[in-house]
């Protein structure tokens, strides 16, 4: 009997320890999941191709899933600058908030001084020319690049001269990309649809008639000039 009681007591103690451990693990993961990024005051307007517009402040930006990677840029003089670890929101993630992209979309990123750069659908998906961040020579990349609207550089806030938000093209490899895409002080993102609307049959016939009429008039003018020379 004593042996049975001792075994039961040991089992109960083990069960209590296991419950306590699982509860502590649950609380730890719950706490980690609710941890948010603290950001300085900032605003970002995102406009979809359908006219949907949202205004994000630092709280809204901090609540979005973020991406961290390494990057640098090569300027027009061939100088390599800005190498570091950047953290921010993927451009594609921001676009998804207002309807997303198609393969004919252009994403216009605008700075506070109205300077802007256009990203094609391929750009947003990470198809960039890359350069070695030491030699500057063009090199192929094996990992996808991610254009992000960055709010941290090397774990700290981006300086006011470049931020609080700036574009960065990052990846695990940290290759450099052209500086034309590294927009400073980003305040607005616009999605522009570039699809040419299909011509209706009536419009097509009208254009055909006008082109035919123009051709007849040109031919008539040439004939009149030919008669004058005879």
CA 179, 182, 188, 193 dihedral sign is positive
Asked if residue 3 has pLDDT above 60, the reply is no
Higher pLDDT, 28 or 137: 137
CA 113, 162, 191, 181 dihedral sign is positive
Region for residue 136 given its phi and psi (left: phi exceeds 0; alpha: psi -120 to 50; beta: otherwise): left
Place of tokens 């094996």: 142
- Mean pLDDT over 127-134 rounds to 95
Asked if residue 167 has pLDDT above 50, the reply is yes
Question: Domains in the chain, please, with CATH?
Answer: 43-193 (3.90.420.10)
Q: What does the pLDDT read at residue 212?
A: 72
What tens digit of pLDDT does each residue of 57-104 get?
999 999 999 999 999 999 999 999 999 999 999 999 999 999 999 999
Asked if residue 115 has pLDDT above 80, the reply is yes
Q: What does the pLDDT read at residue 8?
A: 60
Provide the pLDDT confidence category of residue 112 given band limits of 50, 70 and 90.
very high
- Which residues are within 8 A (CB) of 76 and not within 5 positions of it... i.e. 6 or more apart? 179
- Written as six digits, the tokens of 57 are 């402040």
| % of the chain residues with pLDDT over 90 | 67
Q: What does the pLDDT read at residue 227?
A: 53
Q: What does the pLDDT read at residue 218?
A: 63
Nearest to 146 by CA among 92, 82, 73, 97: 92
Provide the pLDDT confidence category of residue 16 given band limits of 50, 70 and 90.
very low
Pairing type for strands 43-47 and 176-178 reads unpaired
Q: What does the pLDDT read at residue 205?
A: 59
Q: What does the pLDDT read at residue 36?
A: 63
Q: What does the pLDDT read at residue 201?
A: 57
Q: What does the pLDDT read at residue 207?
A: 55
Provide the pLDDT confidence category of residue 24 given band limits of 50, 70 and 90.
very low
Asked if residue 30 has pLDDT above 60, the reply is no
Asked if residue 226 has pLDDT above 50, the reply is yes
């Amino acid at each position: 009997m004593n042996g049975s009681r001792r075994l039961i007591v040991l089992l109960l103690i083990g069960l209590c320890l296991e419950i306590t451990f699982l509860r502590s693990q649950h609380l730890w993961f719950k706490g980690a999941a609710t941890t948010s990024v603290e950001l300085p005051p900032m605003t970002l307007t995102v406009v979809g191709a359908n006219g949907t517009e949202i205004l994000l402040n630092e709280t809204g930006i901090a609540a979005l899933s973020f991406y961290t990677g390494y990057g640098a840029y090569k300027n027009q003089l061939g100088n390599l600058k800005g190498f570091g670890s950047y953290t921010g929101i993927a451009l594609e993630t921001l676009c998804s908030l207002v309807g997303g992209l198609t393969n004919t979309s252009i994403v216009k990123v605008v700075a506070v001084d109205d300077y802007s750069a256009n990203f094609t659908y391929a750009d947003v998906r990470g198809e960039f020319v890359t350069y070695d961040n030491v030699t500057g020579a063009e090199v192929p990349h094996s990992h996808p690049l991610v254009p992000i609207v960055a709010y941290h550089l090397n774990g700290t806030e981006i300086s006011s001269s470049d931020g609080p938000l700036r574009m960065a093209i990052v990846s695990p490899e940290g290759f450099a990309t052209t500086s034309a895409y590294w927009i400073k002080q980003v305040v607005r993102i616009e999605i522009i649809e570039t699809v040419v609307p299909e011509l209706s049959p009536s419009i097509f016939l009208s254009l055909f008639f006008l082109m035919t009429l123009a051709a007849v008039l040109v031919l008539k003018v040439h004939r009149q000039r030919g008669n004058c020379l005879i």
